[in-house]
Structures are given as structure tokens and as C-alpha cells.
Amino acid sequence: MQTERDALFELLEPPPGGVERMRARFAEPARARAGFAVPAFGVAAVAVLAVLVALLPHPDAPPVAVADSLLAAPELDRLLGRQSAPVPLSVERGDQRVQVEELPSSDPRVRIYRVL
């Protein structure tokens, strides 16, 4: 009885000597395949380690001087844990500056303004 699978696929014979070659290959002990991935990973790890050693400061090295004007920048207040100074608000309507009035707020972190 012919099945549907047999009708779809033609049965092929292996090439001459193919079965013997396949059996001989499976009978051999498995060879370790030496790829280039392991040495490449080793070289990459050594390169990363060399970069880290070069970039990290040495304990005996003098500290890097940072400009005082950079540390005094108001943009760094929150990052450095300082109390930030309130920034004056300016509003323009059209091309003219408009006066604003600050209203009281129950939350000190919230500022409410009225545009006059």
C-alpha cells in the first residue's frame, strides 16, 4: 500500500560507498574541532583587561584637577547633592516679555505662577 508520503517524496539510494563512509566516520572517536572562537575570545579578554588597566587611575598618581567653574555649575546641583537655587522665570507672549507673579504653594517643591 502506497502512503501519501511515498507519493510526495521519491526514495533515493545513497551514493556508491556513502553508507560505508558514514559508518566509518561514526565509528571514529570524536575529534576536537579547533575553531578560532576560543583564541579570539582570549585575545579580546586580554585586550579589555589591558584597556582597563590603562584607564584606571593608579593609587600613587596625583588626583585629576577639575576646574572649579565646572563644579560650581548649577546643572550639577542635584547630582552633587547640593540645594539648587531657584531659577528666575521669564515668560514671553508674542515678542514681548510678560510679568509673572509667584503664588504661595503648600508643597515647597511646587512653584505656582500667575501670568499678568
114 phi and psi angles, rounded to 5 deg = -120, 130
Nearest 5 degrees, angle CA 14-CA 17-CA 22? Answer: 80
CA distance 80 to 27: 69
From first to last of the 116 residues of the chain, give the pLDDT tens digit: 566 666 677 878 888 888 899 898 888 887 766 677 888 899 999 999 999 888 887 777 776 676 777 778 888 888 888 888 777 788 898 889 999 998 999 998 898 999 88
Q: Which of 106, 104, 86 minimizes the C-alpha distance to 114?
A: 104
Q: What is the dihedral of CA 9, 15, 19, 24, to 10 degrees?
A: -140
Only one residue has cell 576560543, namely 38
The residues, ordered by sequence, that sit 6+ positions from 82 with a Cβ below 8 Å of its Cβ are 76
HEC-encoded secondary structure of 64-106: CCCCHHHHCCHHHHHHHCCCCCCCCCCEEECCEEECEEEECCC
pTM: 0.28
